Homo-oligomer: A and B are copies of this chain.
Amino acid sequence: MTTKSLTRRELLTGTGKLVVGTAVVAGVSAGMNIFSNAEGSVPQQLPWPYEKLEPEEVGKIAYDGWYKAFCSYGVASGILTSLQKKIGEPYTQLPVEGLRLGEGGLVGWGTLCGSLLGATVAVGFIAPYDVGKQIMNEMLQWYSDTELPIYKPSNPKATVAVQTTSNSPLCHLSVGKWTKAASKSLGSPERKDRCARVTADVAMKTVMLLNDWKDGKFRSDRKLPSALYGITAQHNCNECHTHEIPEAIKQ
């Protein structure tokens, strides 16, 4: 069975009730033969090896990483530099700072929160495709539903007294709701530290899910939004469509 024989909807919903542990990895990975390799040295086949990481340690690297190069780099460094140290190759072949352009929802455009972009790339190398897809589906839902930030740095660079729920994985909404609730500007030390803490939260949550998967305990029966609505979408249509929610064209 090749991916080409599946429809997009089948691909998006095909995982259904997903119960996956490390035992499944080899099978999923072995199925990825649709990708041609170029000549020259061959990259280590996906998924890359994973060993459980300590969420608190990852959170600290991610928090500090924000102050080096913001959210996308922060999460990527929390996860991937930890694996560079713990496992070595192939992680050491990846210059993590190349992933910083996700900052500010993509160079300040407020789209996908950069911390989630960093997590996406890390998970894409670490987990088999079907598992990674469900992990990121869980991550975006958790990010949308959770009062953030949770992380408490041992040496905070500013006081962050307010938590907010974004109801969205979009940077613009996540940052906008927090700055409004906290009455702080984008350039304030408090907003910066808020985003550094969210970066730690996303890195830690991602690692918790990866650890669960490594232990054979990761479970997800959450459908992907595109399978529910007939369009790629968030779950809360009326947050933007305040007056009428367009009907998706029937399949």
Contact = CB atoms under 8 A, between A and B. Distances in A.
Interface of A: 3-4, 7-9, 12, 32, 34-46, 67-70, 77, 81, 84-85, 88-102, 104-112, 116-117, 120-121, 123-125, 129, 132-133, 136-137, 140, 169-172, 175-176, 179-180, 183-188, 192, 224-227, 230-234, 240, 242-243, 246, 248-251
Contacts of A185: 230, 248-251
The 9 closest A-B pairs by CB, nearest first: A108-B226, A38-B84, A110-B232, A108-B224, A111-B112, A40-B88, A98-B124, A40-B92, A93-B93
Given A225-B108, A230-B185, A231-B110, A40 B89 contact: yes
Contacts of A176: 231, 246
7 contacts: A4-B68, A40-B89, A100-B124, A107-B136, A111-B111, A185-B249, A186-B231
* Total copies of the chain: 2
B43 A231 contact: no
Given A101-B123, A121-B121, 17 more contacts: A4-B67, A38-B84, A38-B85, A38-B88, A40-B88, A41-B93, A100-B124, A101-B132, A101-B136, A102-B120, A104-B232, A106-B116, A106-B120, A106-B169, A108-B137, A109-B234, A110-B226
B242 A243 contact: yes
Contacts of A225: 108-110
A35 B68 contact: yes
Contacts of A180: 246, 249
Interface centre among A45, A85, A172, A248 (most CB of B within 10 A): A172
B231 A107 contact: no
Contacts of A123: 101
A231 B179 contact: yes
A179 B248 CA distance: 8
Given A3-B68, A232-B171, A246-B180, A44 B95 contact: yes
Given A4-B67, A8-B70, A136-B107, A46 B101 contact: no
Given A94-B94, A249-B184, A41 B106 contact: no
